[in-house]
Amino acid sequence: PAVRTGTLRMSFGMKAEGSNGSYTAEIHTDVPYAHYLEDGTSRMAARPFKEKIIEKAKPKVMQIFSELTK
Supply the pLDDT for residue 48: 92
Supply the pLDDT for residue 44: 95
User: What does each C-alpha distance from 5 to 9, 50, 52, 70 come to in angstroms?
Assistant: 9, 18, 19, 41
Instruction: Provide the total of helices (H) and of strands (E) in the chain, helices listed first.
Output: 3, 2
CA dist., res. 44 & res. 22, Å (int):
39
Supply the pLDDT for residue 69: 66
pTM for the structure as a whole:
0.65
- Quick check: 70 pLDDT over 70? no
Q: In one letter, which amino acid is 55?
A: E
Supply the pLDDT for residue 40: 96
Residue pLDDT, tens place only, 2-60: 788 999 989 988 787 877 767 787 888 999 999 999 999 999 999 998 898 889 888 98
